[in-house]
Amino acid sequence: MTRYWSPAEVETLRGAVLAETSLGGVSWEGVAGAVGSKTAKQCSVRFHNIEKFGDRPNGRMQWSPLQDHLLLHIAMANGNAWAAVAGQLGVGVSVAKNRYYVLRRMARRDQPVLVLE
């Protein structure tokens, strides 16, 4: 098994996950079989840590004011249930939680943050 992912392997991974998802669930063994040069665990880790978030500039998500507003609103409704908050926003748990705390820190420093109605 090779260590680095080639662009061809990444494209095959994306296509295999899409095909597996349309069948109802992802079989990482099936995805690994399609990729050929990676194990099921390598495919799962690559997809969950990198590929499912898409291409972002500088590797970071750019939050819009609307997304910030939604994050604050959903976080207030769900409390510390970060998995529920992240699921509603379509981002990772740590991404949602980190952005929430950035917004709180900005509010404490009297920097302009969205005003919730």
pLDDT, tens digit (0-9, with 9 covering 90-100), for 45-69: 888 877 766 655 455 677 888 888 8
* Sign of the C-alpha dihedral computed for residues 42, 45, 49 and 51 taken in this order: positive
Which residues in the chain land under pLDDT 70? 1-2, 22-24, 52-60, 111-117
- Helix ranges restricted to H, 4-117: 7-22, 28-35, 40-49, 65-78, 82-89, 93-108
Burial of 51 (0-12, 13-18, 19+ CB in 10 A): middle
pLDDT of residue 76: 92
Tell me phi and psi for residue 50, to 5 degrees: -130, -60
Report which residue type is found at 54.
G
pLDDT of residue 111: 61
pTM of the predicted protein model: 0.49
